[in-house]
Amino acid sequence: MRFLLIMAILLSGICVNAQTRDDNLRMANELMNERKWESALQFLSGCIARNGQFGEYHFLRGKCYAMLDAEEVAIISYSHAIEFAPDSAKYYFERAASFYIILEFSKSKSDYEQALSLYKTASDSASIIAHLGMTNLHLGDTALAIQQFHRAINLDSASAEAYVHYSILLVATGEFERALKYLNTALNLDSTSIFVWSNLGYTNTCIGDYQKAMSYFEKCILIDPDHPFNYSNRGYCKLMLGDTLGALRDVEHSLRKYARNSYAWRNLGMIYLAQGDPINACAAFSASLERGFTKLYGNEVLQLQQKHCRQ
């Protein structure tokens, strides 16, 4: 009974009975590892109320907000963390990732560059350089992106992540066979990475091998059933294989988990078109565009909208 009372107090956000910062951090991380984001936020808010100048509390709160699809609020928390610990590379790295998600690529690039200046190990540097490459790709500097992907691979040839990032560029330029070679190298380095399996799925989707692509997305779902993107991607494969109802279930499930995904809204629109429902299809295409599809993926949804929707 006493234990339950103590837990109730802890989760109320008061942050008591923790003798040291390490105790508080351990408790917060345990809650986060269990995906109890709201409980972790309450707990961290209590810790911040008692010691608001400790950057790690703000950093962890930012990560919770990011997991709850509140990137803008996460950025505020990361900024507080940086204010109190301006030499922490990981704070800039995570803020860069949040800026990237909300399509603020210039700010993302600036933070990745700052993180790069602070990280010391080759593997950490390689990861940041690979992310910089993706950011520069979206900023339109393909030549610099290619240089950075190669640099990341040279710095850490055992990093699956660097090979995957380069494969994304190859897919964007239509070099699918080369992309698959890089992805298979990545898979040999890390066969448990959702990042690898999902990009194998996406590349096979681009080739038109929807059955194989779907098997890769199902692998991702087995590894992490809570990851929303792979349901949307599997749903698109089901659509292309004629299973419209199964596609709709998957894409709607994905959007319930993560409504910011512009590609899932595009997929939903295509499902509605297949069902002969242009009104809902056009609403989905509008939602996709509002969430930045064009900035991330090009003009496909604009073209679909022009073809099927009244302006």
| pLDDT digits 0-9 by tens, 13-40 | 445 444 588 899 999 999 999 999 999 9
Per-residue pLDDT of 105-151, as tens digits, reads: 999 999 999 999 998 787 789 999 999 999 999 999 999 999 999 99
**298 conformational bin, left if phi > 0, alpha if psi -120 to 50, beta if neither:** left
Q: Residue 2 has which token pair?
A: 């006493």
Q: Does the pLDDT at position 10 exceed 60? A: no
Count CA within 13 A, CB hemisphere, residue 149. Answer: 24
Q: For residue 10, give the DSSP letter.
A: I
Q: Residue 264 has which token pair?
A: 């899932």
> 61: closest CA among 88, 49, 115?
49
Please state, in angstroms and rounded to a whole number, the distance separating the CA atoms of residues 172 and 137: 10
pTM metric for this prediction: 0.83
Tell me, what's the pLDDT at 6? 39
Tell me, what's the pLDDT at 17? 44
Tell me, what's the pLDDT at 143? 94
Average pLDDT of the chain?
91
Radius of gyration of the chain from Cα atoms?
21
Q: Does the pLDDT at position 204 exceed 80? A: yes
Cβ-based neighbours of 203, under 8 Å, separated by 6 or more: 167, 171, 176, 179, 180, 183, 213
